[in-house]
């Protein structure tokens, strides 16, 4: 069951990130997405030489940790890295805009009690700092806390 919970959470996140479509946000009309990902959001890890369509996001889940509670439930933490790829002139500006879009989605995802999700937390954001222009590579590291029923 835990494997399906992890899979469901990553698939849910992929679905939410696919909402980055260049239009007004479905979370609030005051935010307009900087990019249209055209559904280029995937549940796998790819390196820049394997990416053909830009911009794109690739998600990869890390090792789950668990905290067993004596009250009959378990809290789990699932780290996920979101790799952000762009290809354009001034790639760092484009990368920052794409990361802004990703942050907007993550901070506006509502509670998902059906998946037991308790929180989303961005722990780290890093970029290539222009080393691979005209490409841009950024990583958004998030932690998802959720409850596992014993």
Condensed to tens digits (0 to 9), the pLDDT of residues 23-42 reads 999 888 899 999 999 999 99
pLDDT at site 27:
85
pTM of the full predicted structure? 0.90
Q: Phi/psi at 8 (nearest 5 deg)?
A: -60, -40
- CB neighbours of 139 closer than 8 A, spacing ≥ 6? 81, 82, 83, 84, 124, 125, 126, 127
Structural domain total, the chain: 1
What domain range includes position 113? 2-149
Q: The domain that contains 52 carries what CATH number?
A: 3.30.2000.10
Proportion of the chain above pLDDT 70, given as a percent: 93
């Amino acid at each position: 069951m835990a494997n399906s919970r992890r899979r469901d959470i990553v698939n849910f996140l992929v679905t939410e990130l696919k909402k980055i479509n260049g239009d007004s946000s479905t979370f609030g009309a005051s935010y307009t997405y900087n990019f249209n990902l055209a559904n280029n959001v995937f549940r796998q890890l790819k390196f820049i030489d394997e990416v053909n369509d830009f911009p794109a996001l690739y998600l990869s889940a890390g090792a789950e940790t668990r905290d067993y509670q004596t009250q009959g439930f378990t809290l789990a933490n699932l780290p996920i890295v979101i790799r952000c790829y762009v290809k354009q002139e001034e790639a760092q500006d484009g990368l920052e805009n794409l990361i802004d879009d990703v942050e907007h989605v993550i901070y506006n995802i509502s509670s998902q009690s059906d998946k037991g999700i308790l929180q989303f937390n961005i722990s780290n954001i890093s970029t290539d700092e222009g080393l691979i222009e005209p490409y841009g590579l950024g990583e958004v590291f998030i932690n998802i806390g959720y409850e596992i029923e014993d």
